[in-house]
């Protein structure tokens, strides 16, 4: 587990996801199923035997090595998708092809790596020498990608968009990409973006169609959820979401060491591109060369509960003119008079400014209850040949006409006064951040660890809400048939997991390391209908981030927890 060195102290990555998901039935008996051997590389619903596949059917991919996989022309139904799932072990793709997995003209489908208990990521793309890892396009819509790993690819690891063409069937007025869901995936060493969701050409591009230059507007995305993913060392942006104009959320992702290729204009941990309107929250972005969160979207959304550490610090560290920020907001596609709400973020050691706000078209913007520590431009502004003061480096308003309200933020040169834990950024008793946040929360009711916010007499400043027992979530959010509760988190010695069983079921709890390899299995055998609380001892685990999967009969729930040593 890599430690973060900050102000002479060590901070262990405090990232957690408790974003519960209930997976569909994975057994053969209840629905039609098809088995695809490892030599088959093209699965086309237009051809036998796949022309008999019906909504709700499952296509099982036999475990083992596969060169690549092309999936075409499958049509499920709303709430009844066609599922592509590994079986008998992990599917492993290592190829010199132009893609690892490509999906064309499919709707209402799911690709999942949950078919084997031995690995968290049951479909693994380990190398693509000539292209992208997973591409979903050509009029594909309404899909879910989960429990997949993509490593060592030439271009983007996961690309999900349909570009307009001279066929005019995929332009904005003809096609919308609905319900794009990507979660619980692991990405490492992608040549370009870790994830490239939606078109960056929001304002269109000129294409020569039949001898005439024509402006083609790309499709919009309606319904995007990108969560609980891990992205390590992408060449460009960690996660980029563009043209997602409605019902978009990007949350609970872990992004490490973004922008390794130092490609101009593609250097951010999280990029909310043109045409996007996405709530962006509870992400942990650390040690990248780029900006932490870069916002070029429509406005009218929230950026909150994110932890951004060392944004841009390793990018040309001795050149103060090569600017990188914790959060950067622009007017690239802002709808006039819309608002941005930047709340409860921890921004630690950014190379340049903590928050740089360059939007003048937006109005009534609120920047409140953020913690910003040690922005790199402080001394440059204070002592250099500039018109700014050191305090401007915490929040830099590049235009005096920007309408921004700064409320109850905490700015400091070092973390010593914050009351942060010595092992993570949680708050300790007596911290000046406790109950000191701004009263207006814009609907934010939980903190970075999904604990209830506020706790006590008021909102706390920063990503964490102080709760000495970290048990409040267990009392306020009891488990249901499709939700579980794990607490405390972070954990030192042991944690409890609470869940609901709706019919007698076999209960299995699997723990995995961050790369998805199983490290322990607990079998609780058959449990009858009712609510259960199980205790799990992790005192012997090294400090770090761990994955888990709780299987209740044929359903599964996954998440992450953080192990920290007791100090």
Residue-wise pLDDT tens digits, 214-228: 999 999 999 999 999
Tokens found for residue 363: 């109005």
Residue 321 sits in the same domain as residue 259: yes
Residue 85 sits in the same domain as residue 188: no
In a domain, 457, yes or no: yes
The answer to whether residue 280 scores a pLDDT higher than 90 is: yes
In a domain, 24, yes or no: no
The answer to whether residue 323 scores a pLDDT higher than 70 is: yes
Domain limit, last residue, from 127, 155, 183: 155
In a domain, 123, yes or no: yes
Residue 296 sits in the same domain as residue 427: yes
The answer to whether residue 19 scores a pLDDT higher than 70 is: no
Residue 461 sits in the same domain as residue 476: no
In a domain, 19, yes or no: no
Residue-wise pLDDT tens digits, 25-83: 333 333 478 999 999 999 999 999 999 999 999 999 999 999 999 999 999 999 999 99
d(CA 398, CA 465): 31
Q: Whose structure tokens read 């020498």?
A: 129
Residue-wise pLDDT tens digits, 485-528: 888 878 888 988 989 898 999 999 999 998 899 999 999 888 88
219 closest CA partner among 275, 166, 163, 167? 163
Residue 458 sits in the same domain as residue 514: no
The answer to whether residue 17 scores a pLDDT higher than 70 is: no
Q: What is the 3-state secondary structure (H, E, C) of 475-530?
A: HHCCCECCECEEECCCECCEEEEEEEECCCEEEEEEEECCCCEEEEEEEEEEECCE
Q: Which domain holds residue 273?
A: 163-468
Q: What pLDDT does 33 receive?
A: 87
Residue 469 dihedral angles phi and psi, to the nearest 5°? -100, -15
Residue 233 sits in the same domain as residue 121: no
Q: Strand pairing of 3-6 and 9-12?
A: antiparallel
Q: CB-based contacts of 399: which residues, under 8 Å, 6+ apart?
A: 358, 360
Helix (H, G, I), strand (E, B), or coil: what is residue 100? strand
The answer to whether residue 478 scores a pLDDT higher than 60 is: no
Can you give the CATH number for the domain in which 489 is found? 2.60.40.2550
Q: Which H or E element spans position 382?
A: helix 378-383
Residue 102 sits in the same domain as residue 205: no
The answer to whether residue 21 scores a pLDDT higher than 50 is: no
Calculate what percentage of the chain has a pLDDT beyond 70.
91
The answer to whether residue 133 scores a pLDDT higher than 60 is: yes
Tokens found for residue 151: 């490593």
Do 430 and 456 form a contact (C-beta atoms < 8 A)?
A: no
Domain limit, last residue, from 447, 468, 489: 468
Q: What pLDDT does 482 receive?
A: 59
Q: Whose structure tokens read 């929040």?
A: 395
In a domain, 334, yes or no: yes
DSSP for 11-58 reads EE---------PPPP--STTS-EEEE-TT--EEETTSTTGGG--TT-E
Calculate mean pLDDT across residues 326-345. Answer: 98
The answer to whether residue 471 scores a pLDDT higher than 50 is: no
End-to-end Cα spacing for the chain: 17
Residue 111 sits in the same domain as residue 245: no
Q: CB-based contacts of 519: which residues, under 8 Å, 6+ apart?
A: 511, 512, 513, 546
Residue-wise pLDDT tens digits, 342-382: 999 999 999 999 999 999 999 999 999 999 999 999 999 99
The answer to whether residue 481 scores a pLDDT higher than 70 is: no
Task: Identify any residues that bridge with 535 across adjacent strands, giving them in sequence order.
Answer: 496
Calculate mean pLDDT across residues 416-432. Answer: 88
Q: How many domains does the chain have?
A: 3
Looking at the chain, how many residues does it have? 567
In a domain, 391, yes or no: yes
The answer to whether residue 1 scores a pLDDT higher than 50 is: no
For residue 401, the tally of other CB atoms under 10 A from its CB is 7
Do 426 and 490 form a contact (C-beta atoms < 8 A)?
A: yes
231 closest CA partner among 199, 255, 212? 255
Q: Strand pairing of 355-357 and 327-329?
A: parallel
Sign of the alpha-carbon torsion through 276, 280, 286, 291: positive
405 closest CA partner among 459, 340, 332? 340
Do 379 and 419 form a contact (C-beta atoms < 8 A)?
A: no
Confidence of residue 469 (pLDDT cuts 50, 70, 90): low
Helix (H, G, I), strand (E, B), or coil: what is residue 205? strand
Residue 240 sits in the same domain as residue 287: yes
In a domain, 15, yes or no: no
Residue 350 sits in the same domain as residue 493: no
Q: CB-based contacts of 482: which residues, under 8 Å, 6+ apart?
A: 20, 22
Residue 325 sits in the same domain as residue 423: yes
Q: What pLDDT does 11 receive?
A: 39
Domain limit, last residue, from 427, 450, 468: 468
Residue 286 sits in the same domain as residue 326: yes
Q: What pLDDT does 208 receive?
A: 95
Do 118 and 518 form a contact (C-beta atoms < 8 A)?
A: yes
Do 248 and 227 form a contact (C-beta atoms < 8 A)?
A: no
Do 156 and 193 form a contact (C-beta atoms < 8 A)?
A: yes
d(CA 152, CA 100): 11
d(CA 101, CA 125): 8
In a domain, 503, yes or no: yes
Q: Whose structure tokens read 């960690």?
A: 238
Average pLDDT, the chain: 90
């Amino acid at each position: 587990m890599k430690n973060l060195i900050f102000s002479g102290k060590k901070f262990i990555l405090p990232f957690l996801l408790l974003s519960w998901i209930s997976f569909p039935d994975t057994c053969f008996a209840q629905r039609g199923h098809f088995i695809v051997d490892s030599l088959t590389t093209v699965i086309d619903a237009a051809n036998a035997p796949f022309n008999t596949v019906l909504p709700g059917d499952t296509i099982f991919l036999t475990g083992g090595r596969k060169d690549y996989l092309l999936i075409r022309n499958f049509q499920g139904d709303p709430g009844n998708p066609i599922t592509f799932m590994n079986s008998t072990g992990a599917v492993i793709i290592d190829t010199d092809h132009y893609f690892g997995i490509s999906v064309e003209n499919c709707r209402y489908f799911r690709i999942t790596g949950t078919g084997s208990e031995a690995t968290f990521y049951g479909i693994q793309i380990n190398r693509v020498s000539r292209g992208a890892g997973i591409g979903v396009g050509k009029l594909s819509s309404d899909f879910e990608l989960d429990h997949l790993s993509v490593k060592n690819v030439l271009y983007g690891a996961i690309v999900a968009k349909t570009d307009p063409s001279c066929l005019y069937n995929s332009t904005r007025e003809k096609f919308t990409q609905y319900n794009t869901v990507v979660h619980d995936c692991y990405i490492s060493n992608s040549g370009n973006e870790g994830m490239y969701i939606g078109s960056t050409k929001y304002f269109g591009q000129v294409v020569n169609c039949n001898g005439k230059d024509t402006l083609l507007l790309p499709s919009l995305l309606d319904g995007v959820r990108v969560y609980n993913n891990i992205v390590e060392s992408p060449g460009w942006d960690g996660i980029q979401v563009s043209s997602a104009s409605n019902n978009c959320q990007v949350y609970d992702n872990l992004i490490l060491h973004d922008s390794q290729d130092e490609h101009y204009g593609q250097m951010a941990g999280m990029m909310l591109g043109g045409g996007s309107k996405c709530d962006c929250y509870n992400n942990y972005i650390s040690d990248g060369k780029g900006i932490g969160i870069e916002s070029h979207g429509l406005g009218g959304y929230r950026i909150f509960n994110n932890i951004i550490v060392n944004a841009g610090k390793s990018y040309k560290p001795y050149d103060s003119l090569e600017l990188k920020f914790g959060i950067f907001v622009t007017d690239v596609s802002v709808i006039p008079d819309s608002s941005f709400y930047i709340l409860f973020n921890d921004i630690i050691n950014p190379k340049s400014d903590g928050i740089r706000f360059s939007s003048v078209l937006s109005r009534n913007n609120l920047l409140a209850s953020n913690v910003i520590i040690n922005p790199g431009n402080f001394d440059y502004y204070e002592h250099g040949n500039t018109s700014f003061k050191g305090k401007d480096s915490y929040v830099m308003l590049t235009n005096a006409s920007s309408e921004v309200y700064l409320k109850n933020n905490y700015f400091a040169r070092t973390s010593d006064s914050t009351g942060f834990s010595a092992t993570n950024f949680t708050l300790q008793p007596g911290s000046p951040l406790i109950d000191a946040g701004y009263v207006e929360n814009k609907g934010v009711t939980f903190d970075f660890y999904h604990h209830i916010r506020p706790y006590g007499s008021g909102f706390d400043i920063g990503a964490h809400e102080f709760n000495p027992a970290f048990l409040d979530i267990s009392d306020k959010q009891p488990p249901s048939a499709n939700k579980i509760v794990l607490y405390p988190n972070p954990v030192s010695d042991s944690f409890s997991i609470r869940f609901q069983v709706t019919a007698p079921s076999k209960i299995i709890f699997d723990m995995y390391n961050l790369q998805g390899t199983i490290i322990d299995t607990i079998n609780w055998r058959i449990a009858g209908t009712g609510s259960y609380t199980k205790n799990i001892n992790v005192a012997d685990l090294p400090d770090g981030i761990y994955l888990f999967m709780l299987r209740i009969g044929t359903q599964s729930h996954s998440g992450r927890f953080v192990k920290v040593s007791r100090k």
